[in-house]
């Protein structure tokens, strides 16, 4: 989809066709680091929870800060980026599952609340799953799932059952 189309969540309807439109618009905004368009998918009471760290971002200001920090924390070039491969909603259009692989290079601005953080210049490939609740064409709650050790200990095999 053309990133200059001016389309936002406001332009999508809440019927089944509208849900498909929301999927396309969200995917476009999320994969191009278009924070302004991305923010049109949220309402003031929206919530984003990163399950791996327990962090919760509530409201438009905190979600915008999360998005800006995320964009600043990595570089995408040479085929790196956010690559969705399993995106769908339930029949009612009230749940969105957005599974992707995020590949990039860590920058100096990588957020970390502890000394455990990837070194700047580290390449990463991180599978992520977003589980979102949709109401009236907007994302109300988002839960983000990923394996934190994939980032903190790259190239280290982690086995639970062997």
Entry pTM: 0.82
pLDDT for the residue 7:
52
CB neighbours of 12 closer than 8 A, spacing ≥ 6?
A: 18, 19, 21, 22, 25, 137
Instruction: Please report how many Cα atoms fall inside a 13 Å half-sphere around the Cα of residue 123, on the Cβ side.
Output: 8
**Tens digit of each residue's pLDDT (9 = 90 or more) over 129-155:** 999 999 888 999 999 999 888 877 777
Domains of the chain: which residue ranges?
Answer: 9-152
- In Å, how far are 11, 74, 129 from 100, measured between CA atoms? 25, 16, 6
Q: Report the CATH fold assignment for 9-152.
A: Nuclear Transport Factor 2; Chain: A, (3.10.450)
pLDDT-derived band at 1 (thresholds 50, 70, 90) equals very low
**Tens digit of each residue's pLDDT (9 = 90 or more) over 40-59:** 999 999 999 999 889 999 99
Which letter, b or e, does each residue of 15-54 get, where b requires 16 or more Cβ atoms within 10 Å of its Cβ? Answer: eeebbebbbebbbbbbbebbeebbbbbbeeebbbbbeeee
């Amino acid at each position: 989809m053309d990133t200059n189309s001016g389309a936002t969540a406001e332009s999508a309807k809440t019927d089944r066709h509208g849900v498909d439109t929301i999927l396309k618009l969200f995917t476009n905004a999320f994969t191009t680091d278009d924070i302004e368009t991305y923010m049109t998918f949220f309402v003031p009471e929206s919530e984003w929870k990163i399950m791996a760290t327990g962090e919760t971002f509530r409201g438009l200001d905190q979600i915008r800060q999360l998005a800006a920090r995320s964009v600043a924390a990595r570089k995408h070039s040479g085929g790196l980026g956010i690559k969705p491969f399993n995106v769908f909603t339930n029949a009612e259009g009230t749940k969105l599952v957005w599974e992707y692989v995020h590949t990039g290079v860590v920058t100096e601005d990588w957020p970390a609340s502890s000394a455990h953080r990837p070194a700047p210049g580290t390449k990463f490939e991180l599978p992520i799953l977003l589980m979102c609740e949709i109401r009236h064409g907007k994302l109300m709650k988002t839960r983000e799932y990923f394996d934190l050790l994939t980032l903190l200990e790259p190239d280290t095999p982690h086995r639970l059952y062997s």
